[in-house]
Amino acid sequence: MGDLFDFWFEYKTVVPKGFTRTLGKLAEISDSGIPIHYFVGNHDLWMNGYFEEELGIPVYHKPEEFTVSYDASTTLSHQTIFIGHGDGLGPGDKGYKRMKKVFTNPLFKWLFKWMHPDIGIRIGQYMSVKNKMISGDDDAKFLGEENEWLAVYCKRKLEDKHRDYFVFGHRHLPLEIDLNESSKYINLGDWIQYYTYGVFDGKNFELKNINYVLF
């Protein structure tokens, strides 16, 4: 769901130091035949082919919709899941949205690439922690369902088409919100404070942590 790294930028011939074991484990899982799908977040939105070429992992830069079929008695049914990192979606957050346009601009990325990695990565890591629009610290607060901007975004998407589940990260909060009688918004939380993750069995999506079912 993105933000696996505090900062990630892909140079032509340089791999950022410090993630060897993580990348090795991802390669091991991928090579074993277990599919991995990676959605970039606001900390690692500069991915540009390395995961696909070296690890065989498809990378998504915007939300994607997946349809999963399952056998319900004698009838083949399906569930539609809309998945993304979650940054820059919904109302508000105009400052970050403007900044993201700059950071993803091809000219900006080309200019940043020519900075020595020791300098560029240090700047990126500093911004990742200190800049509130990037760090996401202010997003890790639940202000009520009516102010949950990803829930607002999901409800707007439902006006165009039905989806069974909307699954996002970014907020660092484990959330499960009913959007209507048949659709839910789920936020996966994090691995640092809540130790949460999502499990989809082909029919139902469940939010869990390492010890027990949360909801």
Share of the chain above pLDDT 90, in %: 52
Pick from 4-18, 22-36, 127-141, 174-188: least confident: 127-141
Chain segment 140-172, per-residue pLDDT in tens: 677 778 888 899 999 999 999 999 999 999 988
| pLDDT value at residue 140 | 64
Domain positions in the chain: 20-209
Q: pLDDT confidence of 33, banded at 50, 70, 90?
A: very high
Question: Cα–Cα distance between 209 and 28 in angstroms, integer?
Answer: 24
Per-residue pLDDT, averaged over 197-208, amounts to 89
For 108-141, the pLDDT digits (tens) are 999 999 999 999 999 988 888 776 555 455 556 7
If one counts every other C-beta atom within 10 angstroms of the C-beta of residue 45, the result is 20
* AA letter at 27: A
How do residues 71-80 score in pLDDT, each as one tens digit? 666 566 789 9
Q: What are phi and psi of 184, to 5 degrees?
A: -135, 145
Q: Which two tokens stand for residue 202?
A: 């082909």
Using alpha carbons, list the distances in angstroms from residue 163 to 9, 50, 64: 33, 31, 12
pTM above 0.85, yes or no: yes
Q: Which residues pair with 187 in a beta bridge?
A: 168, 175
Cβ atoms 94, 100 nearer than 8 A = no
What is the longest distance spanned by two Cα atoms in the chain?
61
Domain 20-209 of CATH type 1.50.10: no
Residue 26 is given by DSSP the state: H
